[in-house]
Amino acid sequence: MSETGGSGGLSRRAFMAAGAALVLAPSIGRAQELAGRRISFLIGNEGAGGYEAYARLFAKHLALALPSARVTVEV
């Protein structure tokens, strides 16, 4: 299987990298919109067990990725 397009076109690897860049570019810009804002996860009922644990885990990592945002989990 050839890596290049039939007539000297882009390689498959370059084509996939360009596609990934197009897909990820808008999400990178959106992350800047969240800087300095408050992000809250609302858990519907007390003792939600797994839901609360997952929300707290996700909130912890989100706070590391967006240090200027205030991330909270409310039960």
Q: Domain coordinates of the chain in residue numbers?
A: 1-33, 36-75
User: Residue 8's pLDDT is what?
Assistant: 59
CB 10 within 8 A of CB 21: no
Looking at per-residue pLDDT, the higher value among 69 and 33 belongs to 69
Q: How buried is residue 49: exposed, middle or buried, by Cβ count under 10 Å (0-12/13-18/19+)?
A: exposed
Q: List pLDDT tens digits, range 6-35.
A: 555 668 888 788 877 776 666 656 666 777
Distance CA 17, CA 10 (A): 11
Looking at per-residue pLDDT, the higher value among 55 and 1 belongs to 55
User: Residue 10's pLDDT is what?
Assistant: 67
pTM value is: 0.54
User: Residue 72's pLDDT is what?
Assistant: 92
Q: Bridge partners of 70?
A: 38
Q: CA nearest 63: which of 35, 25, 44?
A: 35
Q: List pLDDT tens digits, range 32-52.
A: 677 788 989 888 877 667 888
